[in-house]
Chains A and B, each alone.
Chain A
Amino acid sequence: MSLRILTENIDIPELTSFEVYRKLGGYRSVEKSLKTMSPSGVMEEVKKSTLRGRGGAGFPTGMKWSFLARGIGKPHYLICNADESEPGTFKDRYLMERNPHLLIDGMITSAFALEANTAYIYVRGELFRVLRILEKAIGEAYANGFLGKNILGSGYSLDIFCHPGAGAYICGEETALIESVEGKRGNPRIKPPFPAIAGLWDCPTVVNNVETLASVPWIINNGGEEYAKIGVWKSTGTKLMSACGHISKPGVYEVKMGLPVEEFIYSEEYCGGIRKGNKLKAVIAGGSSVPILPADLILKTAAGEPRLITYESLSEGGFETGTMLGSGGFIVMDNTTCIVKNLWNFTRFYRHESCGQCSPCREGTGWMEKVLYGIENGEGKMPDIDLLEDVAKNIEGHTICPLGDAAAWPVRSAIRHFRSEFEEHVKLKKCPF
């Protein structure tokens, strides 16, 4: 049975208007939290829910909030990360286009818990349409007394503003995002200090993903313990999966944590199986940055257990035989796909998006792209495969931000699971596909 926490009513086109959202029970969590709860009470509920950040890293949200440096005489800020640029990921755009008030609802409640009086939504630059939708929804929330001074007579005041990006994947990384809000290039900062101590304009700041913040209203309305009952172990609640590639029904699906991957791929309720009756070859389960897995290992763990959509199950086996839930960008490849060409394409992406601050990332991504291009186009030699692995290893763990790792992991996992395909390219002196 499907449970809809984030996508309930999402097919009602008028849901983007304040009246309709409100009539369907929206903004109840704002009323409840601002009128009957304390900021720490809201934070406790979120802690109890064990909600984990949906931006990719899966860090527990309540715990992140508790690190905020309070009482140091500086204003606090909440920033919503709506930069959605991880290839394969398109869930946040879907949510914001169709249900913008859910995000605002969640942001008001979360900002209250953080005792922040200003919040920004960092909207990916290309998403002009989303920017317009959000600006309109924010305007409606002000007009109805849910934003601005003394919200609902509670004494709490909050302003929410949108801030557009301008085309840079790296600005999804939280410290690069903060630099970008400050009107600078998106160069990630060296941590520590973490944003919770010194973030936007050197003030305590929490950065959360769209889906994370949109999960908060349900938690406040129903209680953290109810939320924690959904899902499996430390993966609670529901997850938005954006599925694309060679499947019959690409799209955004809300799944209960714990859904078997096999059911997700083959059931009519979700992806509807592999298109044109082809065979499943490989899956990148959590956006382009996570390790690729061949069909047998995405359906079952190395120990033969069914693979589930949870943080733990997808990473079962570590990077040898497992992967990560990441952002939930689920890219499915059938047996017509060339793994080398695909990898070359993604590596070009990372080379293009590297901010250039660290030499292993700046030089390494360019090098890997060149070698992969050579192999794909029949100019590769056998030692190139080891060279690739070597370069990837030298990037991993040697950079300021995780983009370097994100470029290295796909390369290492593709070679680990599909080495023979690289060798075939070299032997044939061309792409076999």
Chain B
Amino acid sequence: METDQHKQIPFNDETLAMVNRIIGRYPEGRQKSALIPLLHIAQAEAGGWLSPETMDYVASLLKIKPIEVYEVATFYTMFNLKPVGNCTIEVCRTGPCWLNGAEEIVSHLEKKLHIRVGETTSDGKFTLKTVECLAACGNAPVIQVGTAYHENMTTESVDLLLDEWREETSPSYQNPYK
């Protein structure tokens, strides 16, 4: 994973054009505002997580101090500060989902993947996380895989999803602007 991730840094011309388009959405001198969008792009390009090198690179693109990037990256839960599996599974753990079977989904996933919440499988395929309410409570339980939602989950549909992702080689985190 280490090698993969640094292939994407620095960004290629296409990604740099995207970055400049986004910076242009904010007034002169306010380019720091593009930080969160850029971190999403960097995280997707770098295989789903932000290393210090990646964050320093983003700081250089925005002409801000690296500490300003670290401050933000550590605040928001969507930014991963250590490597994740190719497929990141996030189970909603808040009230409506928890009371509608999410608890069972989490223990099923832990058993199937032989890991606990917060861990990555030894083959680097899967990372399991829990998240707070995903604004889809009417279709509880809900899980998010990278950038896609899956609703009304059952242990059976979780198994199907795992089968699909065992085969898949492209990462679950996608660049939202592509």
Contact = CB atoms under 8 A, between A and B. Distances in A.
Interface string A98-133: 000000000000000000001000001111110110
Contacts of B36: 125, 163-166, 180, 183
A346 interface: yes
Give the interface size class of chain A: 35 or more
B40 to A, nearest CB: 6
B34 interface: yes
Nearest to B74: A185
A87 B176 contact: no
Nearest to A168: B76
Interface in B3-62: 25, 27, 30, 32-37, 39-40, 62
Give the interface size class of chain B: 35 or more
Contacts of A349: 94-95, 132-133
Given A180-B36, A183-B72, A346-B94, A166 B138 contact: no
A161 interface: yes
Contacts of A242: 137-138
Contacts of A126: 78, 131, 134-135, 144
Contact of A93 (B33, B75, B132, B136): B136
B77 A88 contact: no
A186 interface: yes
A337 interface: yes
Contacts of A346: 94-95
A346 B1 CA distance: 36
B132 A125 contact: no
B79 interface: yes
B125 to A, nearest CB: 22
A352 interface: yes
Contacts of B140: 244, 250
Contacts of A252: 138
A166 B77 contact: yes
B25 A161 contact: yes
A106 B148 CA distance: 28
Contacts of A127: 135
A251 B139 CA distance: 8
B80 to A, nearest CB: 11
Interface in A330-384: 331, 333, 337, 342, 345-346, 349, 352-353
Given A128-B147, A183-B33, A88 B174 contact: no
A228 B75 CA distance: 42
B126 interface: no
Interface string A312-330: 0000000000000000010
Interface in A73-96: 84-90, 92-93
Nearest to B94: A87
B138 A87 contact: no
A201 B176 contact: no
Contacts of B144: 126
B132 A166 contact: no
19 contacts: A85-B132, A85-B135, A128-B147, A128-B176, A129-B147, A129-B149, A132-B176, A165-B76, A166-B78, A201-B27, A242-B138, A250-B139, A250-B140, A288-B133, A331-B95, A342-B99, A345-B99, A346-B94, A349-B94
Given A159-B25, A163-B33, A167-B78, 12 more contacts: A85-B133, A88-B96, A89-B135, A90-B136, A129-B148, A163-B36, A165-B76, A166-B40, A166-B77, A244-B137, A245-B100, A345-B93
